[in-house]
Amino acid sequence: MTSIEPGLGRARWRRSWWYHAVLYAQTWRGSVVSSVLFPIFYLASMGIGVGHLVAHHTGLVQGQSYLRYIAPSLLATTTFQLGESESLWPVLGSVKWIRVYHAAAATPLEPRDILYGKLSWVATRSFATGVAYTAIIAAFGAVQSWWGLTLPLIGALITLAFAAPLTAYAARVDSDASFTMIYRFAFVPMFLFSATFYPIAAYPGYLRPVVQLVPLYHGVALVRAAAFGQGSLPAQLAHVAVLGAIALAGVAWGRVTMRRRLAD
């Protein structure tokens, strides 16, 4: 797996990580403002607006005000969105339209190095976003346990659970025709129905197993448990295992599709 030539074997994927980091550093302006303002607007709108109605009708949600109840799930949906938005079009562009990954494949980097560099960079960005969001969520009083410190790591895991398989998929398709369908019929329902805005108990019993099949649900459950310090440890480890398994399967698939795309 690793080469023994001097200077060539040492973690080539880091060079790809660095490449993505510099690229981001050159083009990030604007995205930062929106990524800080968006969660504040979102919490203000949903938490205060809808929260007002909720307080009138049901009072607290699992012991939390509605605002505090939904605040952690914002971290899950944001890291999910980061994972998918960094993976479909940007990856297809890099292997098909602008072909910068092909340029990288002509250097000592192997296709898997390019994949690892890309995914580790997206995970890094997700972690940094997670730190900022954890601070914002804490400012709204929704981080109530030391487990809250794991929120940025959970965010990175959620991002990888989406970025890895989607990168693998985008590396093998020839057009973006299917991407819009994935958005409409997978991402949007996932965002709406992953118990993001209410507890899973709000669903009738027969629907709950269906919701549990949705990857994002495990992310939402995990961030909520970490922020509030609630739930059993084995249950949380099960959520981690589900997300981790999806991420690892995505990496394994990506190694195959990247190699076929770049080195065949």
Partner 1 sequence: MLEARSLVKRFGAFEAVRGVDFEIARGESFGFLGPNGAGKTSTMRMVSAVSQPSAGSLSIFGLDPRAHGPEIRGRIGVVPQDDSLELELSVRLNIEMYGRYFDLPRRVLRERTDELLEFARLSERADSKVDDLSGGMKRRLTIARALVNRPELLILDEPTTGLDPQARHLLWERLYRLKREGVTLIITTHYMDEAEQLCDRLVVMDSGTIVAEGAPRELIGRHSSREVVELRFGTDAPEQMQDVLAPYAERVEVLPDRVLLYVADGDDALRAVHGSGLAPVSTLVRRSSLEDVFLRLTGRTLVD
- For partner 1, which residue of 156, 163, 247, 262 counts as binding (CB under 8 A)? 262
How far is 263 from 157, CA to CA, in rounded Å?
Answer: 29
**92 contacts partner 1 (rule: CB under 8 A):** no
Nearer CB in complex with partner 1: 22/60? 22
Alpha-carbon span 54 to 134, nearest angstrom: 24
- Residue 111's region, left for phi above 0, alpha for psi from -120 to 50, else beta, is alpha
User: Is 31 among the residues that bind partner 1 (CB under 8 A)?
Assistant: no
| Distance, CA of 2 to CA of 11 (rounded, Å) | 8
Q: What is the DSSP letter of 230?
A: -
224 Cβ contact partners less than 8 Å away, ≥ 6 residues apart: 69, 72, 73, 230, 231
Q: Does 256 bind partner 1 (CB under 8 A)?
A: no
Tokens of 185: 């019929």
Question: Cβ of residue 163: shortest distance to partner 1, in angstroms?
Answer: 21
Q: How far is the CB of 33 from partner 1 (least distance, A)?
A: 19
Binding partner 1 (rule: CB under 8 A), the pick from 24, 90, 102, 191 is 102
- Is residue 83 classed as helix, strand or coil in its secondary structure? helix
Using the rule CB under 8 A, is 174 a contact of partner 1?
A: no
Q: What share of the chain is helix, strand, coil (3-state, %, to 5)?
A: 75, 0, 20
Q: Please, which residues bridge with residue 61 across strands?
A: 64
Q: Which stretch binds partner 1 (CB under 8 A): 50-58, 101-109, 166-174, 235-243?
A: 101-109
CB of 93 to partner 1, least distance (A): 10
For partner 1, which stretch binds (CB under 8 A), given 5-13, 161-169, 189-197, 244-252? 5-13
- Locate tokens 């890895």: which residue? 164
CB of 94 to partner 1, least distance (A): 9
Q: Which of residues 106-125 bind partner 1 (CB under 8 A)?
A: 106-110
Site residues, partner 1 (CB under 8 A): 3, 5, 7-10, 12, 15-16, 18-19, 22-23, 26-27, 98-100, 102-110, 262-264
